[in-house]
Amino acid sequence: MSTLTILLTIAQKEFVDHLRNGWIIAVGIAFAAFSLLITFAGFGFTGAVGIGQEQSTLFSLISLVIYLVPLLGLLLSYDGIAGEYERGTLDLLRSYPFKTILLLYGKWLGLFIVLTTTLIVGLTAPAAISIYSGHTVQAWSLLLITSVWIGTVFISIAIMFSVLILDRGKLIAIAIGIWLLFVVLFDLGIIGILVSTEGDVPVNLVNLLFYLNPTALYRLLSIDLIMDKAMIQQLGLLGQIPPTPALFAAMTAWTIIPTLIAGWRIHHLTK
């Protein structure tokens, strides 16, 4: 079989396995419910006066994505390789006439498809309502793309740890710890720095810290691509967001580097 056929076969199996255990349906419905609630609320989490309904709804959904999608990516992927190792099926798969690294990339592709499908299910209803009301397709398309991207970053991170640790018990704790670090504690740390210095921190230093957190990069990139200038100004971010190419490069690095580390590790693991 060709390399592409092997990758697609592994990806298909990964997708079907998650479809059977209800991941896609349950999480998609839950995400859709939260999204619809925010859409009908109009101003969502911002509570700001004078912001257009679409803009405030999209900003609220960006906040929802930050909390839910990284956790989804981690829980989908944390035992991707470790699970095969503990069940003893990794040795069986290694006996097949293809490189084990293709198993890693095939699983990554399958998990990417699972995540994308879940987010499409979750965003279709609120997007349809918003677009029917006269709002733009472009904004919702960009929201879907960036949301899939941040989920993919956490799939890559989880896959990396799954190969490095190979212990499902430890990995679930690590997955929750990663989520808490990037989604909750990081922002609290930034706030603590700003409060302790009374805001006397160079903007370049704050921007540098943001590059260390993919969820912060996702927030800035989504706001930069989706929000209009009036909304960005109202959020106090006008002129404060790093250049778009830099955000793209950083997100790309967060996606690729963990996957490359996982590939390097599984190559040496199976020698």
Per-residue pLDDT band at 152 (split at 50, 70, 90):
very high
Question: In total, how many domains does the chain have?
Answer: 1
**What are 59-91's pLDDT values in tens digits?**
888 999 999 999 999 998 988 888 877 777 776
261: domain range? 3-269
- Specify the pLDDT at position 44: 42
Q: Are 64 and 56 spatial neighbours (Cβ–Cβ below 8 Å)?
A: no
- Specify the pLDDT at position 198: 65
Distance of alpha carbon 163 from alpha carbon 80, whole angstroms: 8
Q: What integer is the mean pLDDT of 245-270?
A: 90
**What are 154-176's pLDDT values in tens digits?**
999 999 999 999 888 899 999 99
**In which region does residue 96 sit, left (phi positive, over 0), alpha (psi from -120 to 50) or beta (all else)?**
beta
pTM > 0.75: yes
User: What value, to the nearest 5°, has the Cα angle with vertex 216 and ends 169 and 111?
Assistant: 45
